[in-house]
Amino acid sequence: MKILSLSMRQVHVLNLQVGQRLRDGALSPTDVCDACLQQAERLAQLNMFAQLTRELARAQAREAAARYRQGESRGLLDGVPVAVKDNYCTLGVETTCSSVMLKDFNPSYNATMVQKLRDAGAVLLGKCNMDEFAMGSGTVDSIHGPCKNVWQPVGCRDWFIAGGSSGGSAVAVASGTVFAALGSDTGGSTRNPAAYCGVVGLKPTYGLLSRHGLIPLVNSMDVPGILTRTVDDAATILNVLAGHDSLDSTTISEDFPPVDLSEDIDMSKLKVGIPKEYHCPGMSAEVVEAWGEVTDILEQAGARVVQVSMPHTPASIACYSVLNQCEVASNMARYDGIEFGLRTAEDRSTDELYAASRSQGFNETVRGRILAGNYFLLQRNYAPYFVQALKVRRLIAQDFAKVWASGVDVLLTPTTLTDAPRHSEFVARDNREQCASQDYCTQPANMAGCPAITIPIKLSQRGLPLGLQLMSQNHREHQLLAAAKWIEQAVGFPRLELDM
């Protein structure tokens, strides 16, 4: 039995149950791998991959098949095709961050998240397209070209963006090419494309997943993200990835109790907060309507729904812009053409070598953030910009702490302000301006470090996915995922139909 014979709806039903079918012998790892590779090649026009690792994937699938024959399965992920964003280091596989600066960079090790997937037997199908150095919300700024959303309403000539910066990972999952993918999330880069592409996007608590081998954007906010078709799948991947890593000092030291969503979920014990400040300018009526519909469903199920205030939310984007660009300026300093990154032929002086290498290696967006960050870090600007932004960040985190202290279990908000924009609409605005608007609802969770998840709710009038976000207290992933699963089952999102 090959996946190619199934409709997209049937593939969605399989989810990571494919692992059970592999153990039962109903599917073989090599057939599953070949089917997924064929799907990737059939949908090559979506440009979801920076590169397909065809031979590596086939070799890993053969290894999984041998383990099954010997009765040595490594669990639910053994032989299951997955993909990772192109900012995760992969042993011997080019890792570019979609930038000229890292073209031809072949890491000598696997990122911890990649290694954990491999240890569980997962098959690496490829590296996913992204915005250069994860700076964007559309996956349109990439040396590999823009990534296209798999959702394409009938009769529409212009294509829709996938969201970013983990757009390739979201499309790979939404299209049925892989069963799960890794993204990264600094201000919404996993949740934004998940919402636009109609899949589940999980940003765990900061420090729950290792950042070792994840090429940094903003060290104090970067979190590995998980993209899957269902909440159950997200829990399965989280259970594999979570836990302390001696190579990342920011990871938690406590043991992570695996999430089990098999039990019945009693919503009558849940207190849901609706933050009024998340109803912001630019939010479409359709998103507001979906938000209200799910609120009503929760109340009807017995959940206690209350309005809450998080007064510093409007300042979050400005605060994030300063902190982001300051850390970018620091992190990008390593790419000087001598130790790391592109080296030009300029040899008249070290300063000119630096300038030429960085000018040619980075795109305009990255260069702009570096320059802004260095401006904020000037001695005369350090206190009024960087230090002040740190103070505002603390106030934002305190908003969350006060809500949790009031007994609220989860917050329900929109994920994005609209459904996926057309590419022509999106590129008409500046990258920084797009991020400032698109990350409004997602970015505060990164400030506080709390876990957040987006789940697809319904289709817009244009036939595109609309998603909503849940946030919960730090290290309360079980509660967050349980509530998300209940909503997922209640709304019955119409999964994408696509002939395979």
Q: Which residues are catalytic?
A: 85, 165, 189
DSSP sequence for 237-287: HHHHH-S-BTTBTTS--S--PPP---S---GGG-EEEEEGGGS-TT--HHH
Omega before residue 253 within 30° of 0, cis: no
Q: Which residue has the tokens 């969503």?
A: 261
Candidates 492, 448, 490; CA nearest to 471 is 448
The structure tokens listed for 439 are: 């990350």
Length of the chain: 500
Q: Is the dihedral of CA 366, 367, 370, 376 positive or negative?
A: negative
Residue 434 to residue 196: CA distance in whole angstroms: 15
Strand order in the sheet with 223-228: 49-52, 123-128, 81-85, 180-185, 223-228, 200-203, 452-459, 465-472, 410-414, 271-275, 304-308
Q: Is 53 helix (H, G, I), strand (E, B) or coil?
A: coil
124 beta partners: 82
DSSP sequence for 161-206: B--SSSHHHHHHHHTTS-SEEEEEESSSTTHHHHHHHTSEEEEPPT
Q: Is 82 helix (H, G, I), strand (E, B) or coil?
A: strand
| Residue 102, CA distances (Å) to 85, 106, 131, 337 in order | 14, 9, 13, 10
The structure tokens listed for 327 are: 């850390």
Residue 87 to residue 402: CA distance in whole angstroms: 35
